[in-house]
Structure 1
Amino acid sequence: MAAKESTLMAEIDENFLLCSICSERYKNAKILPCLHSFCEPCLGKLAEESGNITCPVCRRVHEPADSVADIEDNVFLNELLELFTEQDSEDKSKSKTCDMCEQGEVTKHCVECTFDICDNCARGHSKVRSTKSHRLVSVDEYRTVKSADPASVQPPVYCSIHSEYPVEFYCDTCDTAICLKCTALDHSKPEHQYRCVQVAAKDFAKNLSAVMDKMKVKETEANDSKISVQRVLECLDKVYLRVEESVREHIRKTIEEITRLIQEKGDELLTEVKGEYDKRRVNLTAQLKELDIAENDLTSTREYVEKLMHYGSASQLMSAKKGVDHQTEVLLKVQTQVEPVEDDYMDFQPCDDFCRDKCLGTIALLPQGTSWTLPTSLYGLVKKSRPWSEA
């Protein structure tokens, strides 16, 4: 039994008496309209930071009262806290002096006053008109009942208007708990309909039981929905990883394919450029060789004839006349003033969108116009003769 009571106390302490903000026992617990409770100092810090109070549990925003102190007290929690504080004190020291006379050994506990008193004070407590109706129980009984059923030994709740009077009635008209004095002053019949607080609590508890049954159904629905959402979330994670891998693989293959295609088109362009370059180089080289031959022929003939004219005798000059006439006639017909058979213009014009056109670009060439090409040689159809000196 003691172990069961100890477990109950531990459960209540853990589930109900710890503030979720500071993770310590409540310090003057305040309850928000969303029915979540927090320490008054913790709510004060929240109000200072944002100007309003956002519930740290459900994230609902509540307009602040004039001050945090005006927020409704959670009487239930605060009374439980007092009981547990007393329990902690009792656990530390089983022997305690009377709260009233501070001399006698504690034997009784007054539920209404929450005092631990001795036998002498208990006798006087039972005779005084204002306290003779108070419930006095032995300390051992109080400890046992408090551990098993804390609600049965909690002190009364006092009226918020008349603090010296306990709450005894509930005004259905105003939907508020009231004291005896309230029934005569502010909540008198027939304007106000009120009833005994125990009767109202019994009816309210009955209605709450039906509401709690509906809430349990809603809890089950929420839990089932949560499981369903969690299952979809887990599946989504797996699908994401699979699709992500598929996308990455497709990207890799596409890059390889585009790279291969670019390389292929690039090779074609390079081949085209190389082919055009080789063709022009061959033609220009051939033209250069022809001009070199013509220049050498002209130079060697001119130098020979000039020497013959300068150093030779008349008979020698005339003996060579036939050959000189023939060679000079041939050489004077050679086309020596010509344009290059090819031009040097080549340009690469890149394509703006390879993915769209599948083209890297084109090689631009200037039109060759009327530039001539040499079918045989600079000598045309005239057969090139050997130098007359070799005849």
Structure 2
Amino acid sequence: MPGSGTPLLEDDFQFILCEGCGQESPNLKLLTCLHTLCLGCLSKSKPIGQCPMCQMPIPQASGIPSMDNLLFINLQARLKVYKKIIGGDDLFCDNCKKPSEFWCSECEEFLCTTCSEAHHRYLASHEAKRVMDIRAGSAKDFLEGTRRTSNFCCSNPAHKNQTVSIYCQQCEKALCCSCALLDSRHAAFCDIRSETQRRQQELGTVTRALRHRRGGFEATCAALREEAARLERAQRELRELIRQRVEQLVRELRREEEELLGMLEARQEQGRRELARELQRVEGVLRRMEAGERLVEKMGLYATEQEVMDMQPFIKGALQDLQRAAVRSQAQPVGFAECRARLQALVERVEGHAEKCHP
């Protein structure tokens, strides 16, 4: 039924949008904190030099990361095709302009029945799906089908039409059969599919290690929030105590009262700043962990082999950096012992003075 896939696009694929503005963009950049932003949001964040999601510094001097989020960009393009198919509009063959009944995901072409038969005759390995079958399925089914058929070609310009099927472990490059046979420098080959699976598994291992540490960060975050609340309560209680005691003093002791209140405010502000800074850091790391888990999950679900090969080293490095940063921390609680001691000394002095005045 035309349009039946729209709710899925609305609900299940929000992750492919810019995390800053929530809009589609053909220019999505992947930051080292593993959040994804469009160029517009990056431009707004450039004066600050921090990710607006977790406040991690953006290391690039220009403020524009070099790593494109190829997974999200390509998913947007594939979903646009799906929307076009389920939209109910007339579809025409890209070859003869007759009404289209088939879609080849490898050629990215709509085909009529006649052209589809010729297409199958000359490109038997390509699977052209019926448009009506795509409309009856879900967006996930469509993406899974395009993922299976999405191959990438050799980087050698002379072999640009050759499908990559081999991975050279020595030079860490994907090769076509021609490159592997003609260039003697390559050695220790393995199947490209095995290499992409290994890289996916490697990302999964790093993510699972981070997940073990996440509980500790959540506990630290909760403890910091509780400490902030305790500090507020202690500040209110001590403020009231100071005011009650100081109001008993004579006029010449008002200066002591002001000094006590100033000391209390200074300790309170110091504690608030330290707690806020540590809480912001911990929350930022948690957001990076969540972004890493989400990205690796979506890589496992939807990434093509090309996307895995292009993005895995960058994502792996970012996850390993996050592993090294994932250490528990606890801000030192701010106490009011000095302030209380000075208050007690003041009370004793006043009481002692009162006893001298009223023997």
Shorter-chain TM-score bucket reads 0.5 to 0.7
* Partner residue, 2:140: 147
* Alpha-carbon offset, residue 110 of structure 1: 0.7
- Partner SS for 1:151: helix
User: What is the distance in 1 between the residues matched to 2:163 and 2:249?
Assistant: 82
Q: 2:51 aligns with which of 38, 43, 55?
A: 55
User: What is the distance in 1 between the residues matched to 2:30 and 2:8?
Assistant: 23
Q: 1:73 aligns with which of 68, 77, 80?
A: 68
The structure having more radius of gyration, on CA atoms, is: 1
For residues 120-147 of structure 1, the C-alpha deviation after alignment (integer angstroms, 9 at most, x for no partner) is: 221222233xx44322122233342643
- Partner SS for 1:62: coil
Asked if the contact 2:153/2:161 (under 8 Å) is kept, the reply is yes
Q: 2:199 aligns with which of 204, 209, 215?
A: 204
TM-score after normalising by structure 2? 0.57
Structure 1 stretches of 5 or more lacking a match? 260-354, 359-391
User: What is the distance in 2 between the residues matched to 1:10 and 1:255?
Assistant: 70
Is 1:28 matched up with 2:27?
A: yes
Q: Which amino acid aligns with 2:167?
A: Y
Q: Which amino acid aligns with 1:150?
A: L
User: What is the distance in 2 between the residues matched to 1:159 and 1:255?
Assistant: 89
Written as runs of structure 1 = structure 2, the 5 A alignment for 1:304-319 is: none
Q: 2:77 aligns with which of 79, 82, 88?
A: 82
Q: Equivalent pairs: percent with the same residue?
A: 20
* Partner residue, 2:216: 221
* Alpha-carbon offset, residue 112 of structure 1: 0.9
- The alpha-carbon distance between structure 1 residues 56 and 245, as it changes in their structure 2 partners (threshold 3 A), is same
Is 1:112 matched up with 2:109?
A: no
- The alpha-carbon distance between structure 1 residues 198 and 18, as it changes in their structure 2 partners (threshold 3 A), is same
Written as runs of structure 1 = structure 2, the 5 A alignment for 1:334-373 is: none
For residues 62-83 of structure 1, the C-alpha deviation after alignment (integer angstroms, 9 at most, x for no partner) is: 2258x95x92332211221012
More helix by share: 2
Q: Which amino acid aligns with 2:232?
A: D
- Partner SS for 1:238: helix
Asked if the contact 1:145/1:152 (under 8 Å) is kept, the reply is no
For residues 201-251 of structure 1, the C-alpha deviation after alignment (integer angstroms, 9 at most, x for no partner) is: 222333333333222222222222222222222222222222222233333
Q: Which amino acid aligns with 1:173?
A: Q
* Partner residue, 1:242: 237
Q: Which has the higher contact order (CA 8 A, sep 6+)?
A: 2
Written as runs of structure 1 = structure 2, the 5 A alignment for 1:137-286 is: 137-143=129-135, 144=137, 146-148=139-141, 150-154=143-147, 155-159=150-154, 162=157, 164-180=161-177, 182-183=179-180, 188=183, 191-254=186-249, 258=253
Written as runs of structure 1 = structure 2, the 5 A alignment for 1:318-329 is: none
* Alpha-carbon offset, residue 85 of structure 1: 1.3
For residues 57-106 of structure 1, the C-alpha deviation after alignment (integer angstroms, 9 at most, x for no partner) is: 342332258x95x923322112210122123323432432223322x222
- Partner SS for 2:110: strand
Q: Which amino acid aligns with 2:12?
A: I
Structure 2 stretches of 5 or more lacking a match? 255-348, 354-359
* Alpha-carbon offset, residue 182 of structure 1: 4.9
Asked if the contact 2:79/2:139 (under 8 Å) is kept, the reply is no
TM-score after normalising by structure 1? 0.53
- The alpha-carbon distance between structure 1 residues 238 and 114, as it changes in their structure 2 partners (threshold 3 A), is farther
- Partner SS for 2:107: coil
For residues 299-329 of structure 1, the C-alpha deviation after alignment (integer angstroms, 9 at most, x for no partner) is: xxxxxxxxxxxxxxxxxxxxxxxxxxxxxxx
User: What is the distance in 2 between the residues matched to 1:110 and 1:82?
Assistant: 15
User: What is the distance in 2 between the residues matched to 1:251 and 1:97?
Assistant: 87
For residues 150-178 of structure 1, the C-alpha deviation after alignment (integer angstroms, 9 at most, x for no partner) is: 23323334455545445434343344544
User: What is the distance in 2 between the residues matched to 1:190 and 1:252?
Assistant: 88
User: What is the distance in 1 between the residues matched to 2:31 and 2:171?
Assistant: 20
Is 1:12 matched up with 2:4?
A: no
- Partner SS for 1:61: coil
User: What is the distance in 1 between the residues matched to 2:199 and 2:9?
Assistant: 26
- The alpha-carbon distance between structure 1 residues 165 and 246, as it changes in their structure 2 partners (threshold 3 A), is farther
* Alpha-carbon offset, residue 257 of structure 1: 7.7
- The alpha-carbon distance between structure 1 residues 46 and 224, as it changes in their structure 2 partners (threshold 3 A), is same
User: What is the distance in 2 between the residues matched to 1:171 and 1:111?
Assistant: 28
Asked if the contact 2:94/2:111 (under 8 Å) is kept, the reply is yes
